[in-house]
Amino acid sequence: YCKDMTWTGGLSSPSIAGSSALDIYGSLTLTSGMGNTYTGTIRFGSTAASSRTITTAGNQLRSSLIFDGAGAQWVLQDPLVTYNNGTDLILTQGSLNTNGQYVYLSRLISTGSQTRALTLGSSEIVLTYSSTSPGAWALGSSNMNFSGGTSHITLTGGSSRFSGGGLPYYDVEFQNTSTSYLDGSNTFHDVSFTGNAS
């Protein structure tokens, strides 16, 4: 458990390792060139209304990320790239702003009845999850304040499912040759399929 975790200024090529869960109640700031083999879940939890920041500094994360703080706000400062196909981003409560940054994940999930906000701006979001349950993108509209901006969401996994919760999106693209699934009375600027669609 910690408030802020800051790696800038670390000497002798610092690194983070292990797999135990990590709870951060403030901001996370990594530094360029550091070692990272840490695979534990990172939970961002805060009740403070002030903005928290996440800076990866070019490091790929190997962790699933959970945002769970009533009234809390998190803002990405640079691209958020995860390492493999098992890394999820789960927004349980609070506000997440991708701030127009590039995001590469397995799944993005935000369902339930807690108060949440997701702001995408001009972000390019790539999701790699290949199963239809619950899907690569799963958003619920209950107590959700959503702004799709001019974002572009790309699903690359086979048999991808996009459960949009009846919300307004900009561009969504299914890049696979298997059947893709699109759920909800959503609206789009543009939606495209490489393979079959249901």
- CB within 8 Å of 47: residues ≥ 6 apart: 69, 70, 71, 72
pLDDT at 96 over 90: yes
Residue 13 pLDDT grade (very low, low, confident, very high; cuts 50, 70, 90): confident
pLDDT at 36 over 70: yes
Chain Cα centroid distance, residue 96 = 9
Of all residues in the chain, the percent with pLDDT exceeding 90 is 81
pLDDT for 178-194, tens place per residue? 889 999 999 999 999 99
Average pLDDT over residues 143-155: 97
| Amino acid 130: pLDDT | 87
Say what the pTM is: 0.94
pLDDT at 85 over 70: no
Nearest C-alpha neighbor of 111 from the set 86, 71, 138: 138
Residue 51 pLDDT grade (very low, low, confident, very high; cuts 50, 70, 90): confident
Torsion of CA 131, 132, 133, 134, to 10 degrees: 110
Chain Cα centroid distance, residue 14 = 25
Name 98's bridge partners.
Answer: none
